[in-house]
Amino acid sequence: MKEITSIRIDPAIKRLLSYATSEEKIDEEYNKYICSPNRKLYSGGVNGKIISCIGVEILNSRDGVIKHIAVLPKERGSGMGSSMIRFICKEYNLNSISAETDKDAVLFYDNFGFRITSLGEKYPGVERFLCELDLK
């Protein structure tokens, strides 16, 4: 895993972030990672090619929130997403980690061991879920 600190967004990272947020928000979210000391963005690669990214916000030094996580479609199911979460938990020695997601990704978090709570329809026709994992 490599921390991303460049002011200019790499096209591969921009593509990955497009899987995790709306196109209109990519630049704004990327800038938050570059400018906010409690937000970090990491990339994962294979043979020098970026295939995944994870963005986290660290709260009160030991609790993390996954803001964005994405893996190239052809690499999904390879364990890269789980590997990135394990990396973040170890890197920051977290007590807990959480994420908010939709029905398309909730099974990924459930399989990892996160506790899943429905937040209902946060947007019209879109059910959201809070995924929480205690690491203590």
Within a domain: 56: yes
State the CATH number of the domain containing residue 28: 3.40.630.30
124 pLDDT above the threshold of 90: no
Q: Which residue segment(s) compose the domain that 30 sits in?
A: 2-95
The pLDDT of residue 122 is 82
Within a domain: 133: no
61 pLDDT above the threshold of 80: no
Total of domains in the chain: 1
User: What is d(CA 88, CA 54) in angstroms, rounded to the nearest whole number?
Assistant: 9
97 pLDDT above the threshold of 90: yes
For the purposes of burial, counting CB atoms within 10 Å of the CB of 87, is it exposed (0-12), middle (13-18) or buried (19 or more)? middle
Within a domain: 110: no
Within a domain: 105: no
Chain mean pLDDT for the chain: 94
128 pLDDT above the threshold of 90: yes
Which pLDDT band holds residue 60 (cuts at 50, 70, 90)?
confident
The pLDDT of residue 90 is 96
Within a domain: 59: yes
Within a domain: 47: yes
Within a domain: 67: yes
125 pLDDT above the threshold of 90: no
Within a domain: 37: yes
Which pLDDT band holds residue 126 (cuts at 50, 70, 90)?
confident
User: What is d(CA 49, CA 102) in angstroms, rounded to the nearest whole number?
Assistant: 28
* Average pLDDT for 73-83: 93
